[in-house]
Amino acid sequence: MAEETILESTERTSGSEALRKNVQAAIALAGAVRSTLGPKGLDKLLVDDQGQTLVTNDGVTVLESAKVEHPVAKMIINASSTQDRVARDGTTSTVVICAEMLRNAWQLVRQGVHPATIARGFAQAEKFALESLKELSIDADRSQIQSAIETSLTGKLDKAMEKHLAKLSLDAGEIILTDGRADPTRVKIIKQNGGSMLDTELITGLALAKSRIHSEMKERGGPGSILILDGGIERKQPQFEAKLNITSTGMLDAFRKSESKSILSQIDNLVEIGCELLACKEGIDDEARQALLDNGILTYRRVEKKDLDLLSRACGANLVPDASRATKQDLGAFIKTREELRGGINHWILDAEDTGATLIARGSTDGVLEEVDRCFADGLGVACQLLEEPTLLPGAGATQVALARRLRRHAESVPGREQMAIEAWADALESIPRALAANAGYDGIDSLLKLTAAHNDQGDFIGLDLDDGEAKDTISRGILEPLKITKQAISGATEAAISILRIDDVLWAQMDAQIPAEVEERLQGFGAE
């Protein structure tokens, strides 16, 4: 009685009923993205509440764009988002495997197996699978790394563009590779409307869509010193309303001369400290522009703050708020500076010790540009992983089938009901080759049986050829996946499934009916009348 009183404003679902509803939510979520998996996966058309449209087959983009209220679905979406952040690929696989784990776990619960037992079995299966991945992995050369990047992009764009972006991603990764580490944030992306996606190009160095402030300034030069100004060189506007009381004819002229002197003193300081290149966040006064030209200081203005940060990191320069207070210690160094016309737009390109690279993405519409941006980011993430850890696994479902076969043999040595959970976990892995086959128009069960038989006869590197539905060697065909992506997908899916299995009570707080503010105002006005 006391419990009912405490929970009188709460809707409660507990026990197996709570698990059943949670599993239903997971299966429904997986159903929304399963058809996007693989090279033959289909696209989703997303329409937001503003009427903006987006066509994509990126699983995490679909899930994060959807308005999902169910807490379990949100847990799985978080696992998919983590997969995207850590590995840049495998987001749909994580959701599909997790949902299949929960579907199989529900069947075991109906047979009388306790969820805690299933969770222990799943944890054992995960540990064994991660250890077994070492037996399936191969050391990759450069061509295999590019093939793996192409595999990660397969189905997202047309074949020619996937190949083009894979090459650009690997080139960019090699440019930013320093001491065995590659930082994707050192690659800047500029999006330009017009032209074909195949016109997308990579520039070594930091490129900004900027022109020098005076056409007579020398556009090419280096090496030299650079100052980055988090402000501008212009007459200061008062921050509040002020009135000047002019009592003599010379006062206004003196006031203007004082301003000019202040501006020129800033230029003198730049000359004194040895500044040869200046990048400003704000504007440059006309008088200052002429003085900069006379002193041979190449200058760019109205540079965005994020680009100033990139320049600062690349050149080792400090961001200075005022040119008059700049010192030699604030200067950075650049190797070369130049201006080039790209796609009909002038670009300032700077090379320094740590500038990285710039991708100029081209496309006919904003939607196409967004997709190119996402695909390049994914490809670059995979490239960075493989340059740091060049280890690959066979793709096209080969790794999942090989792990499932090993797990079933391992399960025979496990006493107790955990053995059933390990077999259920192995079955969940096989949902990947089934989905790949189904999305290509083949029967999922028949394809899985064909693949399993081929593994028994020809070894672990046999995967599905989705062009003809046959089981073929993946290494020779270049169908490869980074080890890190598969490891993260297995770990993320398992952790999410175990967390959901441990939930036996769902408490929903009942919300009071809310009256919209405008309706309430009308009601109050009606009462007043």
What's the pLDDT tens digit per position in 72-83? 888 888 888 888
Distance, C-alpha 198 to centroid of its chain: 21
Domain spanning 142-205+358-389: which superfamily? Answer: TCP-1-like chaperonin intermediate domain (3.30.260.10)
CA dihedral defined by 394, 400, 404, 410, rounded to 10 degrees? 60
Active site residue 117: no
Structure tokens, 143: 């061509």
d(CA 417, CA 513): 47
Distance, C-alpha 447 to centroid of its chain: 32
Structure tokens, 227: 């100052």
Residue 150: the pLDDT is 87
Q: SS in 3 state form for 112-123?
A: CCCHHHHHHHHH
Residue 54 has pLDDT above 80, yes or no: no
Active site residue 48: no
Burial of residue 84, with CB atoms counted within 10 A of its CB: 0-12 exposed, 13-18 middle, 19 or more buried? buried
- Count CB neighbours of 26 within 10 A: 26
Q: According to the CATH classification, is domain 207-355 in 3.40.50.740?
A: no
Cβ proximity of 233 and 288 under 8 Å: yes
**pLDDT tens digits for range 361-401:** 888 888 888 888 888 888 888 898 888 889 899 989 999 99
Per domain, the residue ranges of the chain are: 2-139+393-509, 142-205+358-389, 207-355
d(CA 203, CA 257): 45
| Mean pLDDT within 40-56 | 78
Nearest Cα residue to 224 out of 347, 124, 114, 351: 351
Residue 92: the pLDDT is 87
Under CATH, what is the fold of the domain 2-139+393-509? GROEL; domain 1 (1.10.560)
> Active-site residue among 378, 399, 486, 494?
378
Q: How confident is the model at residue 248 (pLDDT cuts 50, 70, 90)?
A: low
> Active-site residue among 36, 92, 200, 337?
92
Q: How confident is the model at residue 255 (pLDDT cuts 50, 70, 90)?
A: low
**Which residue has 């599905």 as its token pair?**
464
**pLDDT tens digits for range 150-187:** 888 887 777 888 888 889 999 988 888 888 888 888 88
Structure tokens, 160: 């020619």
End-to-end CA distance of the chain: 47
Residue 259 has pLDDT above 90, yes or no: no
What pTM value is reported for the model?
0.76
Length of the chain: 529
| Mean pLDDT within 122-132 | 93
> Active-site residue among 36, 56, 58, 494?
58
> Active-site residue among 36, 61, 91, 151?
91
Active site residue 92: yes
Residue 118: the pLDDT is 92
- Write the CB contacts of 336 (distance below 8 Å, at least 6 apart in sequence): 205, 220, 221, 222, 223, 350, 351
